[in-house]
Amino acid sequence: MHDHIHHHHQGTENIKMAFFLNLVFTIIEVFGGIFTNSVAIVTDAVHDLGDTVTIGFSWYLEKISKKKRTKDFSYGYTRFSLLAAIININVLALGSVFVLKESIERLMSPEPCNLEGMMALGVLGVLFNGVAVLKLKKGHSENERVVMLHLLEDVLGWVAILIGAVVMYFVDVPILDPILSISIACYILYGASKNLKRTLSIFLQGVPKGVNMEMVTKMIKQEANVLDVHDVHLWSLDGDYNVLTAHIIVPEKTTMQDLAYLKKEIHTKLKEHKVPHATLEFELYKENCHLEAH
């Protein structure tokens, strides 16, 4: 999951509950996977361990984000969520490699699973995640929607395991278990690589997704009293809170009142374009800018 879950809407209590539920369920899965001898269930445990790590970090972040800015971290603790994403990607990648190795060995020499146990865990998994989906379906925030969609994927994973166990119960195809496991592991790795790409782009201060740099520059240029714009920098603290700095050239006759008005206009429009934090430097026409060429 869910680089998104750390957002600000969800109460600490909900996160705390989600963390412990996921942790307990992950432990049940690990032991259940060993008990039933099913690599598919162990693979799902890797996924849920990733979820638990993410939720644990959200919980921690929710606490420290209340501290806001400090003299050591002038932007506050928002960027710590990137650290959570990186740790989670590592957990998922290492876990997936481990279960892939196991699964490929099983593919060569399939072993029977305890199918009754697998079915029981499958039903438990569908119920556990299904109830959470239904609960979140009532919510309206973007965050709740994202988490809900993720849990829906989790339900589908459990449905696949359940169907696999039922099929193996009636037909003797023990190879189905490692096939399921490999599919789930590939899906985890695919998600992790997408997440890695996104996280690295934020780390490297890439222009945030969903903000058009050209359009933002053009929008500033179109304001009355703006002759030109240069040295525009656009990046994101955490993929959600976007930051911009820019140099804006104004006519020499511009008064401080004109500037105050212009600044307000630009900040309002930037907020509409998902840039809540902008720092603007005004320059007079023909003033020599120390940064102009850069």
Contacts with Zn ion, residue ranges (CB under 5 A): 51, 154, 247, 289, 291
Please state, in angstroms and rounded to a whole number, the distance separating the CA atoms of residues 148 and 130: 10
Write down the least CB distance from residue 190 to Zn ion, Å. 14
| Residue among 23 and 107 whose Cβ is closer to Zn ion | 23
Q: How far is the CB of 212 from Zn ion (least distance, A)?
A: 22
Q: Which is nearer to Zn ion, 83 or 133 (CB)?
A: 133
**Nearer to Zn ion among residue 157 and residue 178 (C-beta):** 157
Asked if residue 248 lies in contact with residue 220, where contact means CB atoms within 8 angstroms, the answer is yes
Q: CA-to-CA distance for 242 and 251, rounded, in angstroms?
A: 29
Give the nearest distance from C-beta 69 to Zn ion in angstroms.
27
Instruction: Please report how close the Cβ of residue 283 comes to Zn ion at its closest, in angstroms.
Output: 5
Concatenated DSSP letters of 27-61: HHHHHHHHHHT-HHHHHHHHHHHHHHHHHHHHHHH
Q: How far is the CB of 87 from Zn ion (least distance, A)?
A: 16
Show contacts of 30-36: CB within 8 Å, 24+ apart.
Answer: 32/117, 32/121, 35/114, 35/117, 36/113, 36/114, 36/115, 36/117, 36/118, 36/121
HSE at residue 215, side-chain half, CA atoms within 13 A, is: 10
Q: Give whichever of 154 and 240 is closer to Zn ion, judged by the CB atom.
A: 154
CB nearer to Zn ion: pick between 226 and 237:
226
Buried b (16+ CB within 10 A) or exposed e, 48-69: bbbbbbbbbbbbbbbeebeeee
Q: CB of 259 within 8 A of CB of 282? A: yes
Say how far apart CA 195 and CA 188 lie, in whole Å.
11
CB closer to Zn ion out of 7 and 247: 247
Q: How far is the CB of 207 from Zn ion (least distance, A)?
A: 19
Which is nearer to Zn ion, 4 or 247 (by Cβ)? 247
Length of the chain: 294
Least Å distance between CB 55 and Zn ion? 10
